[in-house]
Amino acid sequence: MKASEIRSTFLKFFEGKGHTVVASSPLVPGNDPTLMFTNSGMVQFKDVFLGSDKRPYVRAASVQACLRAGGK
């Protein structure tokens, strides 16, 4: 099975359970000066978690590109 098929199957599973499929955010977030790179799938929802934004959905699924550098 190809990686693209795994991603597609993953998203279809959650979409079938009522989640909204959300596109991946850029690897370099333009709206968050505290981050150099997107390091998790939650970055695009940070404003929702902080209460400064609302989305038209309550369940989301995405496949997010991220960059993780060691150090911790």
User: What is the average pLDDT across 59-63?
Assistant: 96
**pLDDT(70) > 90:** no
How far from 43 is each of 6, 21, 39, CA to CA, in Å?
Answer: 22, 16, 7
pLDDT for 43 equals 92
pLDDT tens across 3-44, in order? 999 999 999 999 999 999 999 999 999 888 998 999 999 999
pLDDT for 72 equals 63
pLDDT for 31 equals 84
Give kind and range of the element (H or E) at residue 9: helix 3-16
Domain ranges of the chain: 3-61
